[in-house]
């Protein structure tokens, strides 16, 4: 596999989410598309600021849930009606009220697992290596109290000197170049 | 602005006037007009039906819904003090206003208590053995009425009802007066007030669940003296939470068209309230279905007729719709994250849920009566269910809006206030 080399992007570090969001909105507004925000806790507005639109995880979760429902309800119906038709207290073989509870449990189980694995499958995790961890400020602050905006080198607007100046306009704590 | 302390530069400021916006006056006027029109309609229906039987049944429905808002709202108020959280600050004053409608709800009870003999079989039958001989009631009914006599008699019913209302009245008074005192008291430390409210609300929630159970057993469950269910109180408890939460969200979202809610309502808290509603929708169907599953599995002659009365003879349509209205529709809608964050759509879901609660109550009440059980049929009387509860709810709403106008809509002496005024992203 070819080794990727060169600059991954420019990383600006902010003290508050408010500043990060202002910068991210401005960058997105002036045409940046290869950019990302990194925050120590979920910040909904940061995702919205960089044009993040709804993803497919909720759809995968829904389909998973429906599959779980169908699988368990089908299994119970097959077992009670076709495979082992037993007379239990004179009740009909197809006693749907009794099938609801396990079917419901499987809906939850399948929906939960599909959401978790769907999320992992679609967000690129687990990742063994990410260039941003080359930046010491990122290693120290990204999971505690700092907010980062990264403008990536594969955006057509990227230019090492211009972009660095552009980011400095937002008053970050630091702007560093991150290598692969 | 590079190192702004505490993100303060974006925090909003509360408007000077925290009172209800002027358009609440318009709501009140409209509610009174609706109330008057539907009262006239129900009188007309009573004349056409040549009886007040259905008027009383529908009155019971309207009473139970208004009661759910007043007392369920008060319970939610106490829960909110116990759990904490920013959503609580948002709904506190509307919930207080709901709880202060209790005197009106007690007035609504009076016709039920006075005409109890027209509603409750156990009140109408003074001598079960004789009534059985003359074929008025079945053997099961005669046995149940005689056996449950120490509880199911008018004196005990009045005593229980008045005791319950007195207890709720006490809590209503304490919660409301302390809340105003807290607003004006800036001297005491924060935990003084949080603890005071926690100490009041903790036992309050327990007492609420016990008194509520007693109330609903008398007012609704005993309409059929033969049947009982141990989850009944809990079902109403969750149902009250379901409806009271829907109404309070509806209030907050519509009040947000003007100040002060325009300033303090953030999408984050709206989303949280939507999620809480979703939890109530799930819990509600969970309990309702558990009760059904247990009775269906047991298939005992003492219990199963209650369901058969409510499934056969056309009632199957009502219960199927009940399931759709009460659970499937709000459940599927509230699954969506975008919907919970959209004001207009969440308002629609809340209105829908209040309607669904009324529909469910119709299914609980009407099949208790001999002319309606296993026989859903048209009469002018049955139309009362579309007239009387609307009138009662409209007058109740007018009183509720009046109560909303009595106080500032935001409790100011609360640590959450500063947080709620910050932008959405400021805190995890």
Which CATH number belongs to the domain containing residue A168 in this structure?
3.30.70
Asked which of A122, A145, A171 is the last residue of a domain, the reply is A122
- Would you say residue A80 lies in a domain? yes
Question: B387: number of CA atoms within 13 Å, CB side?
Answer: 21
**How many domains would you assign to chain A?**
2
Q: Which range in A9-23, A33-47, A121-135, B395-409 is most confidently predicted, on average pLDDT?
A: B395-409
Q: Does residue A109 sit within a domain?
A: yes
- Counting one residue from chain A and one from chain B, the pairs whose CB atoms sit within 8 A come to 46
In A, minimum Cα distance to B338 occurs at A54
Q: Which of A101, A122, A143 is the last residue of a domain?
A: A122
Do A71 and A23 belong to one domain? no
Report yes or no: B117 and B193 within 8 Å, Cβ to Cβ.
no
- B417 within 8 A of B84, measured Cβ to Cβ: no
CA gap B225, B231 in Å, rounded: 16
Q: Which two three-digit tokens encode residue A134?
A: 């080359």
- B78-100: b (≥16 Cβ within 10 Å) or e: bbbbeeeebbbbbbbbbbbbbbb
Asked, for residue A1, whether it belongs to a domain, the answer is no
Neighboring chain A residues of B424 at a CB cutoff of 8 Å: 44-45
What does residue A5 show for φ and ψ, rounded to 5 degrees? -130, 170
Q: Given the structure tokens 């039958």, which residue do they identify?
A: B125
Taking the Cβ of residue A57 and every Cβ of chain B, the question of whether any pair is shorter than 8 Å is answered with no
Both tokens of residue B47? 């004349």
Element (H, E) at B331: helix B329-335
Nearest to A97 among B10, B296, B424 (CB): B296
**Cβ count near A34 (within 10 Å):** 15
Q: Of A92, A122, A152, which residue is a domain's last?
A: A122
pLDDT digits (tens, 9 = 90+) for B199-239: 999 999 999 999 999 999 999 999 999 999 999 999 999 99
Do A72 and A114 reside in the same domain of the chain? yes
Q: How far is residue B390 from each of residues A113, B246, B396, measured CA to CA in Å?
A: 45, 17, 10
Determine whether A1 is exposed, middle or buried from the number of CB atoms within 10 Å of its CB (0-12, 13-18, 19+).
exposed
Tokens of B412: 């100011």
Question: What residues contact residue B287 under an 8 Å CB cut-off, 6+ apart?
Answer: B231, B234, B235, B238
Q: How far apart are the first and last CA of chain B?
A: 22
Tokens of B150: 């120490």
Rounded Cα–Cα distance for residues A89 and B99 (Å): 48
Amino acid B2: pLDDT: 40
**How far is it, in rounded angstroms, from Cα B388 to Cα B358?**
12
Q: Are B248 and B98 in contact (CB under 8 A)?
A: yes
- Residue A2 forms part of a structural domain: no
Residues of the domain holding A24: 7-54+132-179
3-state SS, residue B228: coil
Q: Is B170 on the interface with A (CB under 8 A)?
A: no
Output A34 or B392, whichever has higher pLDDT.
B392
- Return the closest-CA partner of residue B238 out of B288, B290, B280, B292: B280
Which chain A residues are within 8 Å of B335, Cβ to Cβ? 62
pLDDT digits (tens, 9 = 90+) for B12-68: 888 878 888 889 999 999 999 999 999 999 999 999 999 999 999 999 999 999 999
Helix (H, G, I), strand (E, B), or coil: what is residue A152? strand
Residue A72 lies in a domain: yes
- Radius of gyration, alpha carbons of chain A: 25
pLDDT of residue B1: 35
Cα separation, B210 vs B232, in Å, equals 12
Helix (H) or strand (E) holding A147: strand A147-152
Cis ω before B260 (30° cut-off from 0): yes
**What is the model's pTM?**
0.89
Is B424 within 8 Å of chain A by CB? yes
Same domain, A61 and A109: yes
* A78 is a domain residue: yes
- For the cut 50, the answer to whether the pLDDT of residue B6 exceeds it is no
Name the residue among B319, B332, B335, B329 with its Cα closest to residue B351: B329
Q: How far away is chain A from the Cα of B317, in angstroms, using its nearest Cα?
A: 17
Give the model's confidence band at A115: pLDDT under 50 very low, under 70 low, under 90 confident, else very high.
very high
Q: Which of A23-27, B4-8, B21-25, B280-284 has the lowest mean pLDDT?
A: B4-8
Q: What are phi and psi of A12, to 5 degrees?
A: -105, 140
Q: From CA B323, how far away is CA B315, in angstroms rounded?
A: 12
Decide: helix, strand or coil at residue B266: coil
Rounded Cα gap, residues B195 and B202, in angstroms: 10
Most confident of A59-68, A122-131, A140-149: A59-68
Contact flag B10-A18 (C-beta cutoff 8 Å): yes
The number of beta carbons lying within 10 Å of the beta carbon of residue A79 is 13
Residue of A nearest to B5 (CA): A16
Q: Residues A47, A103: one domain?
A: no
Nearest Cα residue to B381 out of B32, B61, B47, B129: B47
The full 3-state SS of B31-45, as one line of letters, equals HHHHHHHHHHHHHHH
Q: d(Cα B341, Cα B255) in Å, to the nearest integer?
A: 16
Residues 6+ apart with CB under 8 A from B285: B323, B326, B327, B331
- Give me the pLDDT at residue B317, please: 96
A18 and A61 co-located in one domain: no
B301 interaction partners in chain A (CB closer than 8 Å):
none
Q: Are residues A77 and A45 part of one domain?
A: no
Does the residue A127 lie in any domain? no
Q: Which residue has the higher pLDDT, B245 or A160?
A: B245
Where does the pLDDT of residue B4 fall: very low under 50, low under 70, confident under 90, or very high at 90 and above?
A: very low
Residue that has been written with the tokens 């247990």 in this structure = B294
Q: Is B423 on the interface with A (CB under 8 A)?
A: yes
3-class state of residue B138 by DSSP: coil
> Would A139 be classed as within a structural domain?
yes
Check whether residue A12 and residue A99 sit in a common domain: no
Those of residues 321-340 in B touching chain A at CB distance below 8 A are 335, 337-338
Within 13 Å of residue B329, how many CA atoms lie on the same side as its CB? 19
Of the pLDDT bands very low, low, confident and very high (cuts 50, 70, 90), residue A127 is: confident
pLDDT score of A74: 97
- Within this chain, do residues A118 and A70 fall inside the same structural domain, yes or no? yes
Same domain, A70 and A118: yes
For residue B331 the two structure tokens come to 């459940």
pLDDT band at B3 (very low <50, low <70, confident <90, very high): very low
Query: What six digits make up the tokens of B211?
Result: 């008194």
Task: List A residues 132-171 in contact with B (Cβ-Cβ < 8 A).
Answer: 171
pLDDT band at residue B263, thresholds of 50, 70 and 90? confident
pLDDT value for B170: 97
DSSP assigned state of B380: T
A68 and A117 co-located in one domain: yes
Query: A33 with A48, same domain?
Result: yes
Q: How far apart are CA B295 and CA B365, in angstroms?
A: 19
Query: Are A65 and A41 within one domain?
Result: no
């Amino acid at each position: 596999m070819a080794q990727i080399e060169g600059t991954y992007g420019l990383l600006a570090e902010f003290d508050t989410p408010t500043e990060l969001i202002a910068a991210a909105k401005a960058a997105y507004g002036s045409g940046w598309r290869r950019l990302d925000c990194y925050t120590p806790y979920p910040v909904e507005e940061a995702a919205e600021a960089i044009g993040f639109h709804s993803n497919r995880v909720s759809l995968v979760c829904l389909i998973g849930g429906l599959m779980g429902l169908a699988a368990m309800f089908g299994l119970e119906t097959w077992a009670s009606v076709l495979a082992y038709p037993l007379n239990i207290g004179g009740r009909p073989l197809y006693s749907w009220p009794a099938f609801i509870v396990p079917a419901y449990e499987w809906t939850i189980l399948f929906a939960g697992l599909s959401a978790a694995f769907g999320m992992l499958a679609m967000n690129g995790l687990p990742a063994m290596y990410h260039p941003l961890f080359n930046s010491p400020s990122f290693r120290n602050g990204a999971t505690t109290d700092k907010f980062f905006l990264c403008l990536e080198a594969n955006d057509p607007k990227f230019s090492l000197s211009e972009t660095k100046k552009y980011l400095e306009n937002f008053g970050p704590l630091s702007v560093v170049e991150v290598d692969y | 602005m590079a190192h702004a302390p505490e993100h303060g530069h974006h925090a909003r400021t509360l408007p000077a006037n925290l009172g209800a916006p002027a358009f609440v006056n318009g709501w009140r006027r409209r509610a009174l007009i609706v109330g008057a029109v539907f009262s006239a309609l129900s009188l007309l229906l009573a004349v056409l039906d040549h009886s007040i039987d259905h008027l009383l049944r529908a009155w019971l429905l309207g009473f139970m819904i208004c009661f759910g808002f007043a007392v369920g709202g008060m319970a939610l108020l106490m829960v909110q003090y116990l759990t904490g959280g920013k959503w609580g600050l948002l709904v506190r004053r509307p919930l207080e206003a709901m709880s202060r409608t209790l005197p009106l709800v007690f007035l609504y009870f009076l016709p039920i208590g006075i005409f109890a003999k027209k509603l409750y079989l156990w009140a109408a039958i003074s001598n079960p053995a004789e009534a059985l001989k003359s074929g008025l009631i079945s053997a099961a009914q005669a046995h149940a009425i005689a056996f449950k006599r120490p509880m199911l008699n008018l004196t005990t019913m009045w005593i229980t009802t008045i005791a319950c209302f007195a207890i709720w009245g006490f809590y209503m008074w304490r919660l409301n007066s302390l809340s105003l005192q807290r607003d004006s008291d800036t001297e005491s430390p924060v935990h003084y007030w949080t603890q005071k409210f926690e100490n009041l609300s903790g036992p309050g929630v327990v007492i609420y669940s016990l008194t509520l159970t007693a109330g609903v057993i008398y007012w609704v469950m005993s309409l059929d003296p033969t049947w009982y269910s141990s989850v009944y109180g809990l079902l109403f408890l969750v149902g009250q939470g379901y409806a009271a939460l829907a109404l309070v969200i509806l209030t907050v979202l519509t009040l947000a068209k003007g100040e002060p809610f325009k300033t303090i309502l953030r999408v984050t808290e709206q989303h949280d309230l939507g999620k809480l509603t979703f939890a109530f929708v799930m819990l509600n169907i969970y309990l309702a279905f558990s009760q059904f599953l247990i009775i269906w599995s047991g298939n005992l002659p003492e219990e199963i007729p209650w369901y058969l009365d409510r499934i056969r003879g056309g009632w199957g349509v009502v219960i199927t719709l009940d399931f759709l209205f009460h659970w499937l529709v709000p459940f599927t809608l509230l699954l969506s994250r975008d919907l919970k964050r959209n004001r207009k759509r969440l308002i629609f879901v809340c209105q829908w849920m209040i309607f669904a609660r009324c529909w469910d109550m119709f299914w609980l009440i009407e099949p208790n009566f001999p002319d309606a059980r296993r026989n859903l049929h048209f009469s002018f009387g049955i139309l009362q269910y579309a007239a009387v509860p609307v009138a009662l709810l409209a007058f109740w709403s007018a009183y509720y809006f009046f109560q909303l106008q009595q106080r500032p809509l935001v409790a100011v002496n609360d640590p959450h206030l500063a947080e709620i005024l910050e932008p959405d992203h400021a805190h995890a």
